[in-house]
Chain A
């Protein structure tokens, strides 16, 4: 019951922040992202490398995006990983992508979950040709999640396990918690 309530309040918080965010045209956003992916494909000529590169770019974005998220949402520290997942899906996704992601498929130890991304503005105009069948078009998102969580001391691993662009019914990002980092500070003598 309590968790249902917090889930609702997260959704509400997401809506409220979304209303305050500056907006850009979805087409411009989708086309810009598309152009980046296409350029990477030209530059690296290898789909696997592009997947890795997108993830890295996302990681660097996530590391700085987290501060915007924290400053604008004024959120307080999450008590557990389940709450963190809700905050990502309901507030962060809403805030930056204008859509929410559903949290499901928790592992029994509560260290793995899936984000089901319904309405993804990045893929509005995308169809993967057979040559790029293995391209994880939105792999940038995985990097963003990893980078942002690392800044709040959660080391995770993130990947698309299902992708509508590759014929699945829904896009699913799997997030695995590897380690909760401890604050390290060595006092000098």
Chain B
């Protein structure tokens, strides 16, 4: 049960923040390319989900896309109404992490968006956010 990678995108697909929680496999290609692929995939997946759904999704309380699982990892997804996307990849056996991603959003609000020197849409470079975040993630039972 481990966390791998946390990524935050904005609505335009810009990667605002990444954090590697545990050493992963050897790297293939540049991280920028990986982020672009990831955002593209999520974007397409979301529109795919909307397209094939048997009932209209705006009637549903929860988000249409929460996570998907592959053999190697599980990807958890949380999108805010303001267009921020929180993505966390973990070991495939991990359960529902919507609550965790909401808490990461709460930390983002507290230490990023309330920081007057942070410009909305810029990459997140707030030391306090990073330290609070890793503290929070480390305390989570699934961190390993």
Residues of chain A touching chain B, judged by Cβ–Cβ distance below 8 Å, are 60, 63-68, 70-72, 74-77, 79, 151-153, 183-185, 187-188
The verdict on B135 contacting chain A, using a C-beta distance below 8 Å, is no
| Cβ contact within 8 Å between B114 and A151 | no
| Cβ contact within 8 Å between A152 and B82 | yes
Q: A77-B58, A183-B11, A188-B36 are in contact. Are A71 and B81 (CB under 8 A)?
A: no
Residues of chain B touching chain A, judged by Cβ–Cβ distance below 8 Å, are 11-13, 36, 39-40, 43, 58, 61, 80-84, 102, 105-106, 108-109, 113-114, 118, 120
**Number of inter-chain CB pairs below 8 Å:** 51
Residues on B with beta carbons closer than 8 Å to the beta carbon of A188: 36
Minimum C-beta distance from A163 to chain B (A)? 28
| Cβ contact within 8 Å between B105 and A79 | no
| Cβ contact within 8 Å between B43 and A185 | yes
| Cβ contact within 8 Å between B61 and A71 | no
Residue among B36, B61, B108, B113 with the highest chain A CB neighbour number at 10 A: B113
For the complex of A and B, list the 10 residue pairs with the smallest distance between their C-beta atoms, beginning with the closest: A64-B113, A151-B82, A71-B109, A67-B113, A63-B120, A68-B109, A152-B81, A71-B106, A67-B109, A71-B105
Residues on A with beta carbons closer than 8 Å to the beta carbon of B102: 71, 74
Q: List 6 A-B contacts (CB under 8 A).
A: A64-B113, A65-B113, A67-B82, A71-B105, A71-B109, A188-B36
Complexed CA–CA distance, A153 and B12 (Å): 12
| Cβ contact within 8 Å between A68 and B40 | no
Residues on A with beta carbons closer than 8 Å to the beta carbon of B105: 67, 71
| Cβ contact within 8 Å between A70 and B114 | no
Minimum C-beta distance from B132 to chain A (A)? 14
| Cβ contact within 8 Å between B81 and A70 | yes
Complexed CA–CA distance, A65 and B120 (Å): 11
Residues on A with beta carbons closer than 8 Å to the beta carbon of B114: 64, 68
Complexed CA–CA distance, A185 and B85 (Å): 14
| Cβ contact within 8 Å between B12 and A185 | yes
Residues on A with beta carbons closer than 8 Å to the beta carbon of B36: 188
